Amino acid sequence: MATIINLRQTAPGQPAPSRAGLMQRLWLRFCGLVIEHRHRRELAALNEAILIDVGIVAGDLEFALSRPLWVPVDLAKLRDPKLRHSWNDLPASRLKAINTD
pLDDT tens digits for range 13-50? 676 667 788 889 999 999 999 999 999 999 899 888 88
| pLDDT on residue 57 | 82
Q: Is 80 left (phi over 0), alpha (psi -120 to 50) or beta?
A: beta
What is the arithmetic mean of pLDDT over 42-59?
Answer: 86
**pLDDT value for 11:** 64
The residue extents of the domains of the chain are 20-100
pLDDT of residue 62: 86
The candidate with the shortest Cα–Cα distance to 78, out of 69, 66, 70, is 66
Share the mean pLDDT of the chain.
75
Q: Which residues, in sequence order, are CB contacts of 60 under 8 Å at separation 6+? A: 78, 84, 85
